[in-house]
Amino acid sequence: SAVISQKPSRDICQRGTSLTIQCQVDSQVTMMFWYRQQPGQSLTLIATANQGSEATYESGFVIDKFPISRPNLTFSTLTVSNMSPEDSSIYLCSVEPNTKRNEQFFGPGTRLTVL
C-alpha cells in the first residue's frame, strides 16, 4: 500500500480565511482524491485531483471554494477558501495505487475547526 502524509494534521482558523492542505505520497500514483468527513458522518468525495489538468469536482463542490493543485504524480493540495464554521470537518486525501487498481488508501486526515 502507499504511504500518505498530510499537512497540517489539524488547524483552527478564523472565518473568512483560507487554508491549504498538502498531501504527499511515497510513490507515483495516477488517481488522487479529496474527501470531506463531517462530524458523525461518512466520507463525501469533493473532487478527483488530475495531474496536469483541472480537478474534477463532485456535485455541490466548486473550484472557487475548493481549489486543487496537482503539480506531479506524488503531490496535491486542497485549499478551503473563505472559510465558515460549516467547513469544520476532517479533510482526507486518498490514492488509488497504480499497482493496486480499484482500491483506495487514505492519508491521516486534516482536522479543521473554523471559528
* Interaction between residue 103 and other proteins (CB under 8 A): yes
**Is the bond leading into 8 cis (omega within 30 degrees of zero)?**
yes
C-alpha closest to that of 34 among 17, 51, 21: 21
What would the x/- binding string for other proteins be over residues 2 to 31, using CB under 8 A? -----------------------------x
Residue 75, all three cell numbers: 503531490
- Rounded to a whole number of angstroms, the minimum distance from the CB of residue 2 to other proteins is 11
Residue 30, all three cell numbers: 495516477
Where in 44-83 is the site for other proteins (CB under 8 A)? 44-45, 48
**Quick one: how far is CA 60 from the chain centroid?**
15
Kindly list the residues in this chain that would bind other proteins in the complex (CB under 8 A).
Answer: 1, 31, 33, 41-45, 48, 92, 96, 102-109, 111
